[in-house]
Homo-oligomer: A and B are copies of this chain.
Amino acid sequence: MTESLRNRLALAPAASATARAKLEPERAGPAEREGSNENVLLAAIPRKQYRGLFARLEPVALTFGEVLFQPGDAIRHVYFPETSLVSLLTLVDHHLALEVGMVGREGMVGLPLALGVAASPFRALVQGAGAAMRMKSAHFLAEMRQSPQLQAAVCLHTYNLMAQVAQTAACNRFHVVQERLARWLLMTGDRVRSNDFRLTQEFLSHMLGVRRVGVTMAAGELQKRKLIQYSRGSIRIIDRHGLEAASCSCYEVVSSRRC
C-alpha cells in the first residue's frame, strides 16, 4: 500500500484538486511582483537592460503540486520564483523520489539550460504555491549572452545549488529523520518567508525519502517539544530558535552560504 502510494505520487505527484485549491491562493497574485519579492537573479540585471527584458518575462502563478519538468524533459521555459518555492527531486528505481535541493527567489528553475544542456536531470515540483516569472528558453539564452551580470548571478546560484545538493546528500546519510525534518521546515520557512505552510505528512515523507509514519513520529516529537504545531495539512513553526537547535548542523551550513 505504501508502495502503491509512492508509485502514485511518483507518476502523478499532484495533490488532490481540493488540496491544491486551498494552498495559499492569495500569494499567487501578480500584485506583489515588484519590490523585495523580486527574484534575486533578475534583480542582478541592471535596470536599463531590464526594461527590454521585461517584455520577455511572463508572470505565472505556480500551483502546489505542479511539475515544471520531469527528468529528461526538454526545457522550454526557465522559471524565476518570487514568492513560490520549487523542489528539485531525483528519481530512482522508477518509484522513489528524494528532494536534493530547493529553489526560491534566490535562484532559477531550469539551470541546466544556462550550462548548455536543454534537459533537466531532476523533477521540478512546486512545493510552495506563489508567483514566478518565466521566460522562453531561447530568450533566456539571448539574455545570458548580453548580460555579464546575469551570467555572474547564475554562476553563483549554480555554486550554491551544488553546495546545497552535496550537503543534503551528507545530511540524508548521517542524520536522523527528526533533525532532517527540522532542517527542512526551517529552510522552507526561510524561502517562503512565513512560519506556517500547508503540507501533509505524506508529502513531507517523499521530500525526506522516508515513510510517512516516520514523519508522523518525528513531527509528533517536535510538537511535543513545542517547536512546531500542526494538524491536517498545515504546519506552523512556533519556536524558531528551538527548531534550529533541534535541527542538524546542516541548516546553518547551508543557510550561512547565502550571499
Contact = CB atoms under 8 A, between A and B. Distances in A.
Interface in A84-136: 88, 90-93, 96, 98, 100-101, 112, 114-117, 121-122
A121 B248 CA distance: 18
Interface string A162-173: 110111111111
B249 A173 contact: no
Contacts of A90: 166-167, 169-170
A238 to B, nearest CB: 27
A198 B4 CA distance: 43
Contacts of A93: 174, 248-249
Identical chains bound together, number: 2
Interface stretch (A27-35, A50-58, A152-160): A152-160
A182 to B, nearest CB: 15
B115 A155 contact: yes
11 contacts: A93-B249, A98-B173, A115-B158, A116-B152, A117-B155, A117-B159, A121-B159, A122-B166, A162-B165, A165-B169, A169-B172
A158 B116 CA distance: 10
A63 to B, nearest CB: 25
| Most central of A92, A116, A155, A163 by chain B CB within 10 Å | A92
A209 interface: yes
A169 B98 contact: yes
A115 B159 contact: yes
B121 A166 contact: yes
Interface of A: 88, 90-93, 96, 98, 100-101, 112, 114-117, 121-122, 152, 155-156, 158-159, 161-163, 165-174, 209, 248-250, 253, 257
A93 to B, nearest CB: 6
B92 A171 contact: yes
Nearest to A158: B115
Contacts of A173: 98, 172-173, 209
Given A121-B162, A121-B163, A158-B158, A170 B96 contact: yes
Contacts of A172: 169, 172-173
